[in-house]
Structure 1
Amino acid sequence: MRKHDDGQMSAPEMSAPDLLNETTRASDDSSGHPCTTKATYGAGNHRHVSRSLRMRIAPIFQRACDGRVHLRHALELEHAPGTRNSTTMVHCLAITPFGVFVVNRYDWRGVIEPGINEDELAVVDELGGVTLHTSPLRRAKPAVRHLRLMLSQHECPVESIAIFAEARCNLHPTMPDGVMTLPDLHYFLRTRLNRFRATHRRFLDADNVVSHIDWSCLRRRSRP
């Protein structure tokens, strides 16, 4: 068994080819935020993967939210100012009337199974070799914690979603429900919408929430 060395603050794993099995290139978007990544990936590739992911998830979120959703892509969130690993990367952020979702895209190939603990996943290749990776949900925890704190006054649920490319990837049925392929996303959002409705709370003001997030990101980028 091999253990893949991937730090908590590294960008989500990706591959320039097979961007969620998409062959069309996404156009640029003025609402995207600049972002830096490790040199291994390159900022340009990160933005391209983020735009491609946004194109694929946008109609699904629009349908689940009756059009009331804001999407941001290629975000760099400063979750721990003044520390060595002060920022974390997010491919897409979806702001809906029933919560905020941190959405990242992965391109692991093989059978993806639960690991020995909730912070790891096992990838079994075609020869039966097993490699342990940090779980995408564990990688997204800094961003989730940061957003929960930022949006605490809105009482806004925040959670992460890991989208795996369908090609050459098979997710074990016991995977956490936040780990999925694209066809699973609509059902997942339905469960979160119904869970929120069951609390009998008023729906969130998504416009107000996204303004808060945009203001916070703009303030960080404008600091000297």
Structure 2
Amino acid sequence: MYGIAFLFAIGLALYRIDRQRQTPPSTALPRPVTRAELAGDAGEAAVDAELRRVLAWLCGENFYLHRGPVLLHHAPGARYPTAEIDHLAISPFGLFVFETKNWTGHIEPGPDETSLVRVGASGERELRKSPLKQNHSKVVFLRGVLPGMWPVHSFGVFASDDCTLSPALPPSLMRIADLPHQLRLCKTNYESRDQRGVNVKAAWQAVLAVAEVDRDSIERHRSRVRTDSLIHMINS
């Protein structure tokens, strides 16, 4: 049973989040950044930098990698109408949805394809949601609204140097060092079918028709996710 102090702290956090939602962006006080968020930001920055290097190597200037997250309107009217993409890359050989994790430890397959097991330094085992599961609805949505000849790929990238991967994991789960090989393989496979290259500019405009990239929209989405997580913790 939760103590009164704990429930009060949760209630206060919910109140602050609600007040932050109601406060105009120009006057809202910045929310303190957690250690996990800082680590996540560092991982995403590292993946962004490597993606730009690899895509420039493979495509020259003919690619688009959005700087920052992309918010898809993948389920209008639903409880969770928006979904956040960490990195969206568009190349002549396809669109790529990347979910970045800055986890440490050894990563193994979970009991099903939706989960992974993280093994910590002391041997503790922790069940976590797979990045590919997090990407699933986003990729399905994009495949449904974009022309069928434009392939949409899903990848999970582990950014930390202190992370190792089990060979039993699918190749779509990788470390940063694997990005050059995997993207080159996608390019080779696409070109081997003698297909016309994706129009990068047109593809980005098509994505923007069902997405937002402004900071306020993304923060409202994240605030809703944080609030729902707190409510779930109270009710569990």
- TM-score (normalizing by structure 1): 0.72
Percent identity of paired positions between Structure 1 and Structure 2: 28
- 1:137 equivalent in alignment to 2:132: yes
2:205 match: secondary structure = helix
Separation in structure 1 between the aligned mates of residue 205 and residue 80 of structure 2, nearest angstrom: 26
Separation in structure 2 between the aligned mates of residue 51 and residue 98 of structure 1, nearest angstrom: 24
Which runs of structure 2 are paired with 1:205-220 in the superposition (5 Å)? 205-217=199-211
- How big is the shift at 1:57? 1.6
User: What amino acid is aligned across from residue 203 of structure 2 in structure 1?
Assistant: V
Length, aligned pairs only: 182
1:54 aligned to 24, 48, 52, which one? 48
- Structure 1 stretches of at least 4 aligned residues deviating more than 4 Å after TM superposition: 39-42, 44-52, 218-221
Structure 1 contact 102–159 (Cα < 8 Å) conserved: yes
Cross-structure match for 2:85: 90
Cross-structure match for 1:193: 187
Task: Tell me the C-alpha RMSD between the 2 structures.
Answer: 2.7
Higher helix share: 2
Which stretch shows the higher mean deviation, 50-59 or 79-88?
50-59
- TM-score (normalizing by structure 2): 0.69
2:161 match: secondary structure = coil
- How big is the shift at 1:55? 2.6
Structure 2 contact 43–160 (Cα < 8 Å) conserved: no
Separation in structure 1 between the aligned mates of residue 121 and residue 44 of structure 2, nearest angstrom: 28
User: What amino acid is aligned across from residue 178 of structure 1 in structure 2?
Assistant: S
Separation in structure 2 between the aligned mates of residue 41 and residue 85 of structure 1, nearest angstrom: 23
Which runs of structure 2 are paired with 1:38-77 in the superposition (5 Å)? 50-51=44-45, 53-72=47-66, 73-77=68-72
Separation in structure 2 between the aligned mates of residue 219 and residue 176 of structure 1, nearest angstrom: 30
Cross-structure match for 1:204: 198
Q: Structure 1 stretches of 5 or more lacking a match?
A: 1-38
Q: Structure 2 stretches of 5 or more lacking a match?
A: 1-31, 218-236
Query: Which digits, 9 at most, give the CA deviation of each residue in 1:122-181, with x for residues without a partner?
Result: 111122221111110011111111111121x25211111211123221111221111111
Which stretch shows the higher mean deviation, 86-95 or 61-70?
61-70
